[in-house]
Amino acid sequence: DGTDAGSDMRFHVLGIGAIGSLFSNHLSRALDHSHSVSLILKSSRYVTRFQRNSRAVVCERDGTLLPATGFHVENFDASAQSSPSSSTPQTDDTIDSLFVITKAHTTIPAILRLLPRLSRNSTIVLLQNGMGIYEQLLEEVFRNPFQRPHFILASNTHGAFLKSMFH
């Protein structure tokens, strides 16, 4: 896979609605604890609610609760540095792997705000409803093919709904 077996990977998730919560929960539980998952939340209100929610994203199926914890949290409004909600501090604000799980029409404005943290070594996974966002990103944001991040276009067949925020 091209990564050093001892290196820690950092994942960022933008969009913590129903599918983003489901995805974040499964990603966190699937990864070794040496890797980090940062949730980019859209406002300080969401950050506060997440912290009051035991810093967990809960997946429930057939009455069984599967909580995931250990997330780092970022306030997207403040475009602030990572503020860890676990004991592992984030010292670098670059984004290596970004999962975009937002509504399609919010993707370009969000990517533009995160642009200073992205590089040609970043990977952006677009997991959202809507078509043409990738092509629009290439035309409007990442015109230089030698400087653009890597992209993965994904589709989802799961259904999910929020029982409450982060659940």
- Region 86-114 average pLDDT: 81
Cβ atoms of 74 and 38 within 8 Å: the answer is yes
Look up the pTM and report it. Answer: 0.85
pLDDT over 80 at 82, yes or no: no
Confidence grade of residue 84 (pLDDT, cut at 50, 70, 90): very low
Q: How many CB atoms lie within 10 A of CB 30?
A: 10
Q: Token digits for 64?
A: 């069984």
CA distance 133 to 113: 16
Query: Would strands 72-75 and 64-68 be described as parallel, antiparallel, or unpaired?
Result: unpaired
pLDDT one-digit tens code per residue, 3-30:
455 568 899 999 999 999 999 999 999 9
Where do runs of H (alpha helix) occur along 39-147? 44-52, 107-114, 133-140
Q: What is the model's pLDDT at position 54?
A: 84
Q: How many CB atoms lie within 10 A of CB 134?
A: 15
Q: Which of 118, 123, 59, 130 is nearest to 92 (CA)?
A: 118
Q: Residue 32: is it exposed, middle or buried by C-beta count within 10 angstroms (0-12/13-18/19+)?
A: exposed
